[in-house]
C-alpha cells in the first residue's frame, strides 16, 4: 500500500520539531528537524522557525502546527511557555503567511492525543481516555468514545492549594532534583484529584519522561490504569499532520 504523506511541526517551550508523516502508519516518514525555539518565543520569531523547517522538507501541501496554547478556530487564547503576545494572535493565518500553505493549528497536547488515539496506546479504546504530557508543564487531552474534547487544560487543576503543574510537571522534578521516588507521589496526588473529577477509563502519559516509564509508572498510586504513550515525542507531529490532512485548516 502506498504511503499517505502529511507534515507536522510541534512547537515546544525549548525546541520546535517537524517532519513528514506517513499518515497510514502514524509514523515519521523522515528524520525530524529540530531547532531551538527562539527566546522570547514571539509569534513572528516562532513563525520564522516553522517556515525554516517547512522549507527544509520542501513541503507544499496542507500542514499542521502545534502550540502550547488554547487554540480556537486557529486563534491562540493562552500562552504557556511561549511569549504572551501569542494571546489573541491568529496563529493559523500567521503560519500560512510564512509557510505559504494551508495550516491547521492545534493545542500541543490535543495533537498528541489525536495521534495516540489513532495509532498508539488509546487505539480502539472507548469510554473516557485522558492523555497527559509531562514536560515544562502538564498538557492534557480528553476523549469520550474516541472524540476529542479540545482545550481542557487539566494540568492547571488546583491540587492541595497549588497549580498541579507547579509540583508535578517533569520540570519540577528537574528543578528540585527529585528522585523518581520523590516525584511519583506528587504525580499520584495529581492523578487522584483528576480521576475523582472525571473517572477516566484510561490515562496515557507522554512527554520526555515517558521514555523512562518503567522508573515511575510502577510507583503511582491511583485506581485508573496508566500506560505510557506509544508515539513518545513524535505524537504531536503525527497528530497535527493528521488534523491538517483531514481538513482542519482555514
- Per residue in 142-184, pLDDT (tens digit) is 999 999 999 999 999 999 999 999 999 999 999 999 999 999 9
C-alpha span between 120 and 170 (Å, rounded): 22
Is 227 a residue whose pLDDT tops 80? yes
pLDDT of residue 80: 87
The CATH number that domain 122-229 falls under is 3.30.420.40
- Segments of the chain assigned to CATH 3.30.420.40: 5-110+234-245, 122-229
Fold of 5-110+234-245: Nucleotidyltransferase; domain 5 (3.30.420)
Q: Grid coordinates in use for 55? A: 522549507
Buried b or exposed e, range 99-110, using 16+ CB within 10 angstroms:
bebbbbbbbbbb
C-alpha span between 71 and 69 (Å, rounded): 6
pLDDT of residue 249: 58
Residue 26's Cβ-count burial label (10 Å; 0-12, 13-18, 19+) is buried
C-alpha span between 159 and 165 (Å, rounded): 9
Sheet order of strands, 202-206 included: 147-149, 138-144, 128-134, 202-206, 226-228
Which pLDDT band holds residue 2 (cuts at 50, 70, 90)? low
Q: Grid coordinates in use for 161? A: 492549594
Could you give the 3-state DSSP secondary structure of residue 115? helix
Amino acid at each position: 500500500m502506498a504511503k499517505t504523506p502529511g507534515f507536522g511541526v510541534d512547537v515546544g517551550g525549548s525546541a520546535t520539531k517537524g517532519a513528514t508523516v506517513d499518515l497510514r502508519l502514524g509514523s515519521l516518514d523522515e528524520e525530524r528537524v529540530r531547532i531551538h525555539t527562539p527566546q522570547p518565543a514571539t509569534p513572528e520569531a516562532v513563525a520564522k522557525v516553522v517556515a525554516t523547517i517547512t522549507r527544509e522538507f520542501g513541503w507544499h501541501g496542507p500542514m499542521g502546527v502545534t502550540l502550547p496554547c488554547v487554540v480556537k478556530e486557529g486563534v491562540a487564547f493562552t500562552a504557556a511557555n511561549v511569549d504572551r503576545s501569542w494571546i489573541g494572535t491568529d496563529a493559523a493565518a500567521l503560519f500560512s503567511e510564512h509557510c505559504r500553505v494551508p495550516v491547521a493549528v492545534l493545542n500541543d497536547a490535543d495533537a498528541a492525543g489525536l495521534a495516540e488515539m489513532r495509532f498508539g496506546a488509546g487505539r480502539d479504546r472507548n469510554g473516557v481516555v485522558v492523555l497527559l504530557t509531562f514536560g515544562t508543564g502538564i498538557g492534557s487531552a480528553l476523549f469520550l468514545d474516541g472524540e476529542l474534547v479540545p482545550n481542557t487544560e487539566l494540568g492547571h487543576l488546583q491540587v492541595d492549594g497549588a497549580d498541579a503543574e507547579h509540583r508535578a510537571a517533569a520540570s519540577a522534578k528537574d528543578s528540585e532534583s527529585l528522585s523518581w521516588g520523590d516525584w511519583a507521589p506528587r504525580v499520584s496526588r495529581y492523578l487522584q484529584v483528576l480521576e475523582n473529577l472525571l473517572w477516566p477509563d484510561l490515562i496515557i502519559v507522554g512527554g520526555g519522561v515517558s521514555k523512562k516509564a518503567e522508573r515511575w509508572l510502577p510507583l503511582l498510586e491511583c485506581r485508573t490504569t496508566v500506560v505510557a504513550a506509544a508515539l513518545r515525542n513524535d505524537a504531536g507531529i503525527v497528530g497535527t499532520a493528521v488534523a491538517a490532512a483531514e481538513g482542519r485548516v482555514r
